[in-house]
Amino acid sequence: MIAGPRVLVVEDHARLRHGFQHAFADSCDFVTSYGALVNADPPEGGWDYAFVDFNLGPGSRFSGLSVLRHLQLASPRTRTIVYTQMEEPGREMFAVAARLWFDAWGIVAKGDDSDEVLARIKIGENPTPALWIEAWKTGARTLDPLFPDATWTAYWQAACEYHGQAAMMADRLGLRYKRDLDRTYTARAKIVGNDFASQFQARRNPFDFDNRSNAVQIGAFAHLNAPFFLAPDLPDIVAHVMPWRRG
């Protein structure tokens, strides 16, 4: 059995605990929700590593974004690790936000959390796939432009809810006419959405289809990343991070 550092796992599925228990034994703590984390008593000196899932269960008012923010403020020495199903929608955006906004240390996709991977973490080796390390270096800045001011969280949420249908989005955002939506958001949304998708979702980039209208392309991009854009705590997170002020 591997004797490990102090490890925290924030994950709502108890069945995924076995591998961590086998690897780290009594040095591993589990919480299933953001509230449980806030009320938890960390070990003396804090946790060395924290594995953070994005989705904390149906009905939760928080996602892994709030967990990362809490750990950054309450336990800054803890190395945070994105621990999620990377092939699911919105997870690329979560992984980029984790790094860019909260200085996440690594990525371990669910299913790749073998004893070998956990043993590497024990000795301080970063198990993040090389492609993601390079992407973090060169492409992470494509996330901030998706939120050029405080109104864009609501814009992306409306794009998810109405599949890019401009008239309904305009009404949702309190705009009088569709042309107001186009003038304020549409052209820029296509540019910044394409920049992100080209970097992190190239095989599924909705903007690669020139025969589609702007509304369809933007709606498809929003749908591809809907779990992120519709995360219940995203408005608070974006207001805290203020991507539009990050140079």
CA neighbor of 24 nearest in space, from 44, 3, 42: 3
Of 3.40.630.30, 3.40.50.2300, 3.40.50.10490, 3.30.420.10, the CATH number of 7-140 is 3.40.50.2300
Higher pLDDT, 47 or 26: 47
Q: Mean of the per-residue pLDDT values for the chain?
A: 90
- Say if residue 105's pLDDT is above 80: yes
Q: How far apart are CA 73 and CA 171, in angstroms?
A: 38
Q: How far apart are CA 84 and CA 67, in angstroms?
A: 14
- pTM confidence score: 0.92
Answer for the pair 146, 121: CB distance below 8 angstroms, yes or no: no
Q: Residues 119-161: pLDDT tens digits?
A: 888 888 999 999 899 989 888 899 999 999 999 999 999 999 9
Domain spans of the chain, in order of start: 7-140, 144-245
Q: Residues 46-64: pLDDT tens digits?
A: 899 999 999 998 889 999 9
User: Which residues are bridge partners to 237 per DSSP?
Assistant: none
Q: Which residues contact 58 (CB under 8 A, 6 or more apart)?
A: none
The pLDDT score that the predictor gives to residue 203 is: 86
